[in-house]
Amino acid sequence: MTALLYLIVGVLSIVLGVRGWLPDQRDTSRIAFFGLCLTVGIAYAAFGLSLLPGLAGLRLLYMAMGMCVPPFALWTVDRIFAGKPHRLVGVLFVTTAILMPVLVGIHAAFSQDVPRSSPAEVAAGLFTFGSFALVIMRLWQAHEDAELSVEKTRLRYLIAITLGAVVFALLEQLARNVAAPIDMSGIPVTSRGVVLQGALPPFSALLTGIALYFMYQALVFYRLLDLNEVFSRLIALVTSAALLVIVDGVTVMWIGTFTDYPLHGTFQIFLASLMFLAGYDGVRDTIQWASHRMFNRRGQQLQEALDTLANELPTTVAVRSLADTLLGRLHSTGRVPIASLYLWDRTLDAFACVAHRGDSDSPPMAAVAAGPFSEGFDQNTPVYLRGAMQHRRIDPLQDRLPLMDAMHADVILPMRARSGLVLGWLALRPEAWSDGFSSEEILRLREMLTVASTVLTNIRGFQALEEQQRLAALGAMAAGLAHEIRNPLAGIKGAAQFLQADALDGDSADMLSVIVDETNRLDVVVRQFLDYARPDTLHLTSDHINALATHIVALVAAQGLPEIITLVEDLAPDLPASRMDRDRLTQVLLNLARNALQAMPKGGILTIRTRKRSESVIEIAILDTGGGIAPENKRKLFDPFFTTKRDGTGLGLAICERIVRAHGGNIDVTSSVGRGSVFAVRIPVRATDDITDVQEAS
């Protein structure tokens, strides 16, 4: 059993090293950790096998690999926790490379049959344990340099476990040398490992495995395990093992009362163990629940809240209800003292805080712009962790920290639609005394947010459908009303023009002119509204975007340009032909060109430019050097009836956008106050057989 334990720890060490190294094989931190796990794994596997008959020669491999462990350990600590190389790492590697083959060679040549540790082994042990003192000191230095109290606590855990592994390894070695020599010729194979191990059980192997697992957590998840979490899991495991021992022990006692046949006894023990394992699932859940409630109460409450949310969230039918349910459940556990939910708000063109729970010195940031904060989520970063961002190896994300401070968050998890679109995020701050959220808790939170994202998408889909139906009904009613208005307008205008035929003078003539002018303006508004309300019917023909641009330049020039305006034609060569409604796009581009001219009352440059955005998208843009568009107005440009012009209707750009969308494209606007604006019309390239000649766009 002792040999098996060393073999298990050795194999698991190598597995941890490979798992830590494979995701990024060029990362020096992962390479150092892989080297540490490999040397530890080979050393323990060699020692475990050396306890078996005929394999004592593997103690040489154990001796060699054991001396290699400290330099790799020091290198790993430098890379993962200190973040910068220390000069002693290179010195230790060089010293080990010189001493290791010399001491192993001396021991192999002169002392292999010595029952106790040879002088060479003693020298190797002194060097190894002295080198481990450097590792402990380096860990303590990293602890002193750590800025976060949570990080200091985690490093203290690791220092304690590492120190325990080194001390027990030293005590086990001393115990083997203090004991009287034993003649192994009469020792059975099953007891050989225990005898050679000495008086002390292999605690050092167990603690070394735990230390490596802690380092693996720090490497992969940028956190060390919470001791509460470790204790709760350990108690659950020990309790389960104790129950199995009790069942098997009672079985052994019972067997001894009725049979002396070993095979029957073995079968009875096997049967009892099988029956225990068959009913273990229900017992295991109870044991885990009880141990978590005892040693990790807040963590257990969080798990229960997440289970409840998985059932409650699908029944919510409003965004506010979703936010209140989500944050209320998390905050009530005590594990999440501060929580905020940010969702995309189209009117603000930003992610807005829709709900908040918890007490803080100031309210969380009300809104966060889409970029650059959410760019990491757009690139499939699963979570923002403060500990990871403050880690010296994580530079690209550190600029998010001030915004996380403004949101009172240490952990931010994105909410994504199935398409990958970022809908928002959940900002959380764990309890100050805790070690942050465990990797399992973060995984459960992500699973819960997947459900919440689906629910949010459905809610917004239903709201959009209701809004679409409401607007459709309102549009039909407004279109009918507009038709009814046009007839009285025509009558009013006709009556006013009839009266103008009389020789009226003074105020009467002026009032009649006002009536005619305002009637004409109202007729334009009604006509444009009807154009906007009715479905767009496109008459598509094959045409070249450059030919359309040249046509627009000619039309703008024909209308007469002031001398203070310069007209520039910038056309990209070899643009593909596409199917488009030339007349409707001419309407769009002329409207944009007129707006550009009006934006340059003091003169400037009007540029009409074409280019290829991609193999499937072409662009024609109207550029001006006018006063630009105020940021607060930019997001409302295409809203119906929004205008900054004194005599504008606010429907021109709305109609333009509708026509471009009917082509399957979009209008992109970039503007800088005082420097001008760019309205870029982008439409897809459509082949001849991609679409029919007449298309109605709803």
CATH number at residue 126: 1.20.1070
Judged against a pLDDT cut of 50, whether residue 51 lies above it is answered with: yes
DSSP assignment string, 308-355 = HHHHHGGG--SHHHHHHHHHHHHHHTSS-SEEEEEEEETTTTEEEEEE
Question: Sorting pLDDT into bands at 50, 70 and 90, what band is 233?
Answer: low
Q: Residue 371, CB half-sphere, CA atoms under 13 Å: how many?
A: 3
Judged against a pLDDT cut of 50, whether residue 693 lies above it is answered with: no
Instruction: Render pLDDT for 467-485 as a digit per residue (tens, 0 to 9).
Output: 667 656 666 666 666 666 7
Same domain? For 26 and 131 the reply is yes
Q: Which residue has the higher pLDDT, 573 or 243?
A: 573
Question: Sorting pLDDT into bands at 50, 70 and 90, what band is 691?
Answer: very low
Most confident of 7-11, 498-502, 617-621, 631-635: 617-621
Judged against a pLDDT cut of 60, whether residue 369 lies above it is answered with: yes
DSSP assignment string, 599-621 = T-TT-EEEEEEEEEEETTEEEEE
| Residue 601 and residue 562 in contact, taking contact as beta carbons nearer than 8 Å | no
Amino acid identity, position 547: A
> Which neighbouring-strand residues pair with 543?
578
> Which neighbouring-strand residues pair with 424?
343, 415
> Which neighbouring-strand residues pair with 623?
607, 678
Judged against a pLDDT cut of 70, whether residue 3 lies above it is answered with: yes
* Residue finishing a domain among 225, 245, 269: 225
Q: What number is the average pLDDT over the span 547-570? A: 90
Question: Sorting pLDDT into bands at 50, 70 and 90, what band is 659?
Answer: confident
Same domain? For 47 and 87 the reply is yes
Give the rounded percent of residues in the chain with a pLDDT score beyond 70. Answer: 77
- Residue 534: the pLDDT is 62
200-209, 373-382, 585-594, 647-656: range with lowest mean pLDDT: 647-656
d(CA 97, CA 77): 20
- Residue 260: the pLDDT is 57
Judged against a pLDDT cut of 50, whether residue 392 lies above it is answered with: no
Judged against a pLDDT cut of 90, whether residue 619 lies above it is answered with: yes
Same domain? For 500 and 352 the reply is no
Q: Which residue has the higher pLDDT, 459 or 692?
A: 459
The answer to whether the bond into 372 is cis (omega within 30° of 0) is: yes
Same domain? For 64 and 139 the reply is yes
| Residue 70 and residue 132 in contact, taking contact as beta carbons nearer than 8 Å | yes
Instruction: Render pLDDT for 187-209 as a digit per residue (tens, 0 to 9).
Output: 665 566 666 666 777 888 888 98
> Which neighbouring-strand residues pair with 518?
none
15-29, 70-84, 131-145, 274-288: range with lowest mean pLDDT: 274-288
Judged against a pLDDT cut of 80, whether residue 535 lies above it is answered with: no
Q: Tell me which residue range forms the domain holding 282.
A: 229-289
Q: What number is the average pLDDT over the span 409-429? A: 89
- Residue 102: the pLDDT is 92
**Phi, psi at 281, each rounded to 5°:** -55, -50
168-177, 448-457, 495-504: range with lowest mean pLDDT: 495-504
111-125, 244-258, 561-575: range with lowest mean pLDDT: 244-258
CATH number at residue 436: 3.30.450.40
Same domain? For 482 and 435 the reply is no
- Residue 25: the pLDDT is 85
**Phi, psi at 429, each rounded to 5°:** -130, 115
For the chain, the average pLDDT equals 80
Judged against a pLDDT cut of 60, whether residue 490 lies above it is answered with: yes
Residue from 64, 88, 96, 73 nearest 13 by CA? 73
Judged against a pLDDT cut of 70, whether residue 683 lies above it is answered with: yes
- Classify strands 422-429 and 411-416 as parallel, antiparallel or unpaired: antiparallel
Same domain? For 527 and 547 the reply is no
d(CA 509, CA 115): 128
Would you call 532 exposed, middle or buried from its count of C-beta atoms within 10 A (0-12, 13-18, 19+)?
buried
| Residue 545 and residue 487 in contact, taking contact as beta carbons nearer than 8 Å | no
CATH number at residue 560: 3.30.565.10
Same domain? For 327 and 368 the reply is yes
d(CA 663, CA 585): 9
Same domain? For 311 and 443 the reply is yes
Hey, what are 338's tokens? 């501060």
85-94, 188-197, 355-364: range with lowest mean pLDDT: 188-197
Q: What number is the average pLDDT over the span 150-174? A: 85
Question: Sorting pLDDT into bands at 50, 70 and 90, what band is 186?
Answer: low
Most confident of 173-187, 254-268, 342-356, 637-651: 342-356
Place of tokens 């330099």: 71
d(CA 622, CA 617): 17
Torsional sign, CA 339, 344, 349, 354: negative
pTM for the whole thing? 0.50
Q: Residue 351, Cβ neighbours under 10 Å: how many?
A: 22
Instruction: Render pLDDT for 441-457 as a digit per residue (tens, 0 to 9).
Output: 888 899 999 999 999 98
* Residue finishing a domain among 241, 262, 289: 289
Judged against a pLDDT cut of 80, whether residue 181 lies above it is answered with: no
- Residue 197: the pLDDT is 66
* Residue finishing a domain among 225, 253, 278: 225
Same domain? For 271 and 308 the reply is no
Q: Residue 599, Cβ neighbours under 10 Å: how many?
A: 18
Same domain? For 219 and 234 the reply is no
How many residues in total does the chain contain? 698
Same domain? For 581 and 611 the reply is yes
- Residue 219: the pLDDT is 76
d(CA 525, CA 345): 30
Judged against a pLDDT cut of 50, whether residue 28 lies above it is answered with: yes
- Residue 569: the pLDDT is 93
Judged against a pLDDT cut of 60, whether residue 690 lies above it is answered with: no
d(CA 242, CA 570): 82
d(CA 481, CA 340): 46
Domain count, the chain: 5
Same domain? For 472 and 373 the reply is no
107-116, 598-607, 656-665: range with lowest mean pLDDT: 107-116
Question: Sorting pLDDT into bands at 50, 70 and 90, what band is 74?
Answer: very high
| Residue 268 and residue 251 in contact, taking contact as beta carbons nearer than 8 Å | yes
